Amino acid sequence: MSGPLAMLDVGAIINGVLLVMLVVLMCAIARVRNLLTAILLMGVYSLVMAVWLTVMDAADVAFTEAVVGAGVSTVVLLGAILLTRSETAAISWKAMIAPGLAVLVVGGLLVFAAQDLPDFGDPASPANAYVGKLYLEMTGGDIGAANVVTAVLGSYRGFDTLGETTVIFAAGLGVALMLGFGERAMSDRERGRMPVNVSAGEDHVVLRVMAKLLIPLIVLYAFYVQFHGDLGPGGGFQAGVIMAVAVILHALVFGLDATMHAVRPGVARAIAALGVLVYAGVGIANIVHGGTFLNYDYLFPPGVEARLPDAAHHNWGQHFGIMAIEAGVLLTVAATMITVFYGFAGRSAEAVAVVGGDDTHGQNP
């Protein structure tokens, strides 16, 4: 590769440093026995990963990794260790020999095979030269979205994204079926039984005031990310998770109970289903108007699109189609994350109430 620029060297150093940091964090996670430590290290790992993704020009992915990795997955893991235990059993060094050997052999074979991969940053590699470049060239004329990632996600590969949205919905359903919707914790309170408040409590004035200030801003930011997805990094997946984070923050500061009365578990799970319905419904609307499934050029009935303002320069069908399916993604992702959180948090309120204090392993230190 003839060095196209001198700037790459700085980028290469940052790339190397961040990747080494990831490896160090991975080793630390493998070593620690305390699960709370491991989960917090996972949060750091995700943040370093997000920085690395930004260096790799993957702004949308970095955004998602920061919100999901450092935000939601940390909360879900903490909910899980609250319900189980926070210390792993000690492993003898003998028990590590077989896995260690297996990993070394497989890793060695993979390094051998990796020689066939294209050079890092090679613009002529098969992955970059054909379909990826085609998307970049065609998006301006086909769709007119500035953010090519959103165009590929919503339109070119809209069918994949429908599948992924459905997987998220199904996963949320699975968690709810196993752990419940957290409604039992809510009805306990209504029956006058003493609820266990897994919240910061009444006396943390600073937390409560700050949360009241932050939550509206977080929701506003989620909408910004949602509607700005055409033009910059963002879209339904990121906005949905940010929206769920606002609800989770409310629950952590004001108590699960107050949150469940603000956003009822039944409403959350209905919205999760509604999102998938909106997405699939947009696809079917195109069939009704004479197109194929999820081909937004047929989103409007024939003749309507030409009468929209500035129709010569805007592809309104694609614009509105992507906006509509992103709304579906937002609803499903946000509601699923909230349902999952309710499942874990409602279970912990219940488990603490039932188990009481007789099991020291189950509690966080």
For other proteins, the binding residues in 34-73 under the rule CB under 8 A are 35, 38-39, 42, 45-46, 49, 52-53, 56-61, 64-65, 68-69, 72-73
Candidate list 85, 208, 289, 319; residue touching other proteins; CB under 8 A = 85
Nearer to other proteins, 100 or 281 (CB): 100
Nearer to other proteins, 101 or 304 (CB): 101
Nearer to other proteins, 164 or 208 (CB): 164
- Determine the size of the site formed for other proteins (CB under 8 A): 115
Residues in 88-117 at the binding interface with other proteins, rule: CB under 8 A: 88-89, 91, 95-96, 98-100, 102-104, 106-107, 110-111, 114-115, 117
Tokens of 189: 């309170």
> At 168, which amino acid appears?
I
Residue 149 interacts with other proteins (CB under 8 A): yes or no: yes
Residue 206 interacts with other proteins (CB under 8 A): yes or no: no
Residues in 252-311 at the binding interface with other proteins, rule: CB under 8 A: none
In the numeric block, the tokens 């499903």 are attached to: 332
- Round to whole Å and give the CA distance between 183 and 257: 10
Candidate list 70, 139, 328, 334; residue touching other proteins; CB under 8 A = 139
Candidate list 164, 214, 264, 319; residue touching other proteins; CB under 8 A = 164
In whole angstroms, how close is the CB of 205 to other proteins at the nearest point?
32
In whole angstroms, how close is the CB of 42 to other proteins at the nearest point?
6
Residues in 210-229 at the binding interface with other proteins, rule: CB under 8 A: none
Q: Which range, of 168-176, 280-288, 303-311, 317-325, touches other proteins by CB under 8 A? A: 168-176
Compute the radius of gyration of the chain from its Cα atoms.
24
Name the residue among 280, 276, 249, 279 with its Cα closest to residue 336: 276
Helix (H) or strand (E) holding 166: helix 158-179
Go through 24-49 and write b for each residue having 16 or more CB atoms within 10 A of its CB, e for each that does not: ebeeebeeeeebbebbbbbbbbbebb
Residue 118 interacts with other proteins (CB under 8 A): yes or no: yes
Question: In the Cβ-directed half-sphere of 113, how many Cα atoms lie within 13 Å?
Answer: 6
If one counts every other C-beta atom within 10 angstroms of the C-beta of residue 338, the result is 29
Tokens of 268: 């959350």
In the numeric block, the tokens 């992915």 are attached to: 61
> At 342, which amino acid appears?
Y
Tokens of 339: 């349902």
- Round to whole Å and give the CA distance between 259 and 199: 11
Nearer to other proteins, 282 or 300 (CB): 282
Residues in 173-192 at the binding interface with other proteins, rule: CB under 8 A: 174-175, 178-179
Nearer to other proteins, 104 or 209 (CB): 104
Measured torsion, CA atoms of residues 31, 32, 35, 38, in degrees rounded to the nearest 10: -70
